[in-house]
Amino acid sequence: MAGVVELNGDTVGLGRSGFQALRQALQASLGDQAAERLQEAGHAAGRDVYNCFRRWLKTTTGLDDPGAIAASALGGVLSDFFQALGWGPISMNRVGSTGIAMDTAEWAEADPAAHAPYPSCHLSAGLLAGFMGALSQQPVSVMEVECRSADQARCRFLLGKPEALEAVYQAMSEGRDYSSVL
């Protein structure tokens, strides 16, 4: 069901090398602030990508309302959409009783050659927060806890209510496993 993606002027294509060059340039000039700026830019783009998703959904499934997608089918539909955009396939999994993980071994922003000391798909984290917030019609926070840029096998983004991910951040800063608080 990959379907054709209609960019329609509010969404543009950007190659993987563009992501890598942008991240490297911002890190070189902004240091640690680059992550925050990339997240802000991604969040701003999230609504546009959501609007693109709605057009794609109508074209590929005939559905006008993303809320009509069965919960059991949502992960597959989102995977098809993000693959069609060139981001890569995803799987959605429950983590604990309150968390959702989005896993991908082929995410476009990830750069396995970067050998980053920590997860680095900052633009994606912001974009997914904006996108999922628009989809769910409520605030959603996103935190990348595993990353191919940091020599891990996959990128894993945790999605949840802001207060839940604040607890995750606190637990991880204390050396605890994130799943222990979800």
**Domain containing 33 — which CATH number?**
3.30.1380.20
Give all strands of the β-sheet with 99-104 in edge-to-edge order: 91-95, 99-104, 155-160, 141-146
Structure tokens at 48: 């546009």
What's the domain count of the chain? 1
List phi, psi (to 5°) of 146: -140, 150
The answer to whether residue 1 sits within a structural domain is: no
The answer to whether residue 11 sits within a structural domain is: no
The answer to whether residue 127 sits within a structural domain is: yes
pLDDT at 182: 83
* The pairing of beta strand 141-146 with beta strand 155-160: antiparallel
How far is the C-alpha of 180 from the C-alpha of 27, rounded, in Å?
32
For the chain, how many residues are written?
A: 182
The answer to whether residue 27 sits within a structural domain is: yes
Structure tokens at 11: 């969404």
Residues 102, 90 contacting (CB under 8 angstroms): yes
List phi, psi (to 5°) of 117: -75, -10
Structure tokens at 139: 């605030």
pLDDT tens, position by position, for the chain (182 residues)? Answer: 566 677 666 777 777 888 788 888 999 999 999 999 999 999 999 999 999 999 999 999 999 999 999 999 999 999 999 999 999 999 999 998 888 999 999 999 999 999 999 999 999 999 999 999 999 999 999 999 999 999 999 999 999 999 999 999 999 999 998 888 88
Report the predicted TM-score, pTM, of the whole model to 2 decimal places. Answer: 0.92
The answer to whether residue 147 sits within a structural domain is: yes
The answer to whether residue 3 sits within a structural domain is: no
pLDDT at 9: 66
The answer to whether residue 66 sits within a structural domain is: yes
Q: Provide the domain limits for residue 147.
A: 16-181
Residues 156, 103 contacting (CB under 8 angstroms): yes
The answer to whether residue 56 sits within a structural domain is: yes
